[in-house]
Amino acid sequence: MGKDISKMEALIFTQKIAQLGKALWKSIEKDWQQWIKPFDLNINEHHILWIAYHLNGASISDVAKFGVMHVSTAFNFSKKLEERGFLTFSKKVEDKRNTYIQLTDAGEEIVRKLLDIYEPKKHTVLQGALPLKEIYGKFPDILELMAIVRNIYGEDFMEIFQKSFNHLEDALTDNKEADETKGQSEKEVV
Amino acid sequence: MGKDISKMEALIFTQKIAQLGKALWKSIEKDWQQWIKPFDLNINEHHILWIAYHLNGASISDVAKFGVMHVSTAFNFSKKLEERGFLTFSKKVEDKRNTYIQLTDAGEEIVRKLLDIYEPKKHTVLQGALPLKEIYGKFPDILELMAIVRNIYGEDFMEIFQKSFNHLEDALTDNKEADETKGQSEKEVV
């Protein structure tokens, strides 16, 4: 009987997270698409640029792993980005089996411009989290979600994840300092 | 300056939830696809059957809303399910504008068979949540995620959500009682 209940619990949890995860992802997807629209990119293409930017170059298999896409998807979209002049392919002398990508200046500029034009008001998922920020003083840590993703994708996924956020913080701080030097002022953004 | 930081915080939260949400959804999607594969259904089709089953019939706009799909997607896949004999369309006398779907016996049987063949071992998201269950004695409540989804999709989304889980619990309890009457025993499932 305890075992029946554990199947029931399992089914209910699976359904709960499936419904919520689908709803969340559909909103993320819509927000992401409207954000990158001016640059004529799809989500996978922007994700590849994003990963290569924050990791300062990456192998196709890193892109596939961290971008949660098939290796062939990572490769094909990288190829398209190469044709548009946003990245270059290379091999490393010490690692001939993997293909690496590195952003060109044009590729880096896209990632930076997207950070510039980012408008919190247009991101419904962020807006959905704002009431929690108002109560707790910060955005939710979503630790349960992080723990589940960590258990599924492993420690190196989380390491790349953390690395990209550290780099993002640095990049934004640099941008901000540059803006302050220029004497720009920012409006209320959220 | 405080406002720059709030843009930075916003961007980091948006990226964090986007990366995690994508990773989570890709796993949910894979789990869901392997689960329903024996019945030659895609995720949207199963989602439609699921909603109609747990709400005991639904309008196409309910299906679209709760299933987080376009109305045309909900309609077109419902049409396919009708052609395969799994549901029927109808209009209500008091509400001529909406189209309603109702599962046939064959449609209900699919949903019930899927509950029967559900195997927790094959659901990676569930497996990813197990360590939390071991620590806390139950699966994570994912309340932050629920709050975000509630803020985005509104109160009626959450009501349908809750209604479908109450119905699922009842359905599983009925199944279990039926099994016990038949004297079936269950193996360890998780």
Burial of B26 (0-12, 13-18, 19+ CB in 10 A): middle
| Closest C-alpha to A7, from B115, B24, B164, B35 | B115
- Could you give the CA distance from residue B15 to residue A47 in angstroms, rounded to a whole number? 11
pLDDT of residue A54: 92
pLDDT of residue B22: 97
pLDDT of residue A6: 85
Q: Say if residue A183's pLDDT is above 60.
A: no
User: How open is the CA angle A139-A143-A149, to the nearest 5 degrees?
Assistant: 125
Model ipTM value: 0.90
Instruction: Tell me if chain B has a CB within 8 Å of the CB of A171.
Output: no
The alpha-carbon gap from A21 to the nearest alpha carbon of chain B, in Å, equals 6
- Could you give the CA distance from residue B146 to residue B151 in angstroms, rounded to a whole number? 9
pLDDT of residue A28: 98
Instruction: Tell me if chain B has a CB within 8 Å of the CB of A4.
Output: yes
Location of structure tokens 């490769």: A75
Mean pLDDT throughout A116-144? 94
HEC profile of B49-110:
HHHHHHCCCEEHHHHHHHHCCCHHHHHHHHHHHHHCCCEEEEEECCEEEEEEEEECHHHHHH
Mean pLDDT throughout A104-129? 95
Q: Say if residue A2's pLDDT is above 50.
A: no
Which chain A residues contact residue B44 at CB under 8 A?
Answer: none
Burial letters A7-21, b for 16+ CB under 10 A, else e: bbbbbebbbbbbbbb
**A-B contacts (CB, under 8 Å):** 237
Residues 13-42 in B contacting A (C-alpha not used; CB under 8 Å): 13-28, 31-32
Residues 77-106 in B contacting A (C-alpha not used; CB under 8 Å): none
Residues 107-166 in A contacting B (C-alpha not used; CB under 8 Å): 115, 118, 120, 123-132, 138-142, 144-153, 157, 161, 164-165
Question: Cβ–Cβ of A128/B120 closer than 8 Å?
Answer: no
Report residue A64 as tokens: 């596939």
Q: Which of A112, A132, A144, A174 is most worth mutating to test chain B (most B CB atoms within 10 A of its CB)?
A: A144
Amino acid in the structure at residue A47: H
- Could you give the CA distance from residue A65 to residue A22 in angstroms, rounded to a whole number? 21
Which chain A residues contact residue B131 at CB under 8 A?
Answer: 147, 151
Which chain A residues contact residue B132 at CB under 8 A?
Answer: 144, 147-148
* Strand arrangement of the beta sheet that strand A95-103 belongs to: A58-59, A95-103, A87-92
pLDDT of residue A171: 82
| Closest C-alpha to A11, from B77, B125, B38 | B125
The alpha-carbon gap from A82 to the nearest alpha carbon of chain B, in Å, equals 23
Residues 56-75 in B contacting A (C-alpha not used; CB under 8 Å): 68
pLDDT of residue A189: 52
Q: Which of A125, A142, A186 sits opposite B14 (nearest CB)?
A: A125
- Regarding pTM above 0.80, the answer is yes
Q: Which of A6, A27, A127 sits opposite B190 (nearest CB)?
A: A6
Cβ pair A78, A63 in contact under 8 A? yes
- Could you give the CA distance from residue B111 to residue B52 in angstroms, rounded to a whole number? 10
> Torsions phi, psi of B19, nearest 5?
-65, -45
Which chain B residues contact residue A165 at CB under 8 A?
Answer: 12, 15-16
Amino acid in the structure at residue B151: N
Which DSSP helix (H) or strand (E) runs through A99?
A: strand A95-103
pLDDT of residue A91: 86
| Closest C-alpha to B14, from A108, A35, A178, A177 | A35
Question: Cβ–Cβ of A132/B153 closer than 8 Å?
Answer: no
Going residue by residue through chain B (190 aa), what tens digit of pLDDT does each one get? 445 558 889 999 999 999 999 999 999 999 999 999 999 999 999 999 999 999 999 999 999 999 999 999 999 999 999 999 999 999 887 877 889 999 999 999 999 999 999 999 999 999 999 999 999 999 999 999 999 999 999 999 999 889 888 888 888 887 666 666 655 444 445 5
The alpha-carbon gap from B94 to the nearest alpha carbon of chain A, in Å, equals 30
| Closest C-alpha to B163, from A19, A42, A77 | A19
Q: Which of A24, A152, A190 sits opposite B145 (nearest CB)?
A: A24
The alpha-carbon gap from B145 to the nearest alpha carbon of chain A, in Å, equals 7
Facing residues of B92 across strands?
Answer: B95
Question: Cβ–Cβ of A149/B20 closer than 8 Å?
Answer: yes
Location of structure tokens 């302050």: A180
Q: Which of A27, A115, A146 sits opposite B20 (nearest CB)?
A: A146
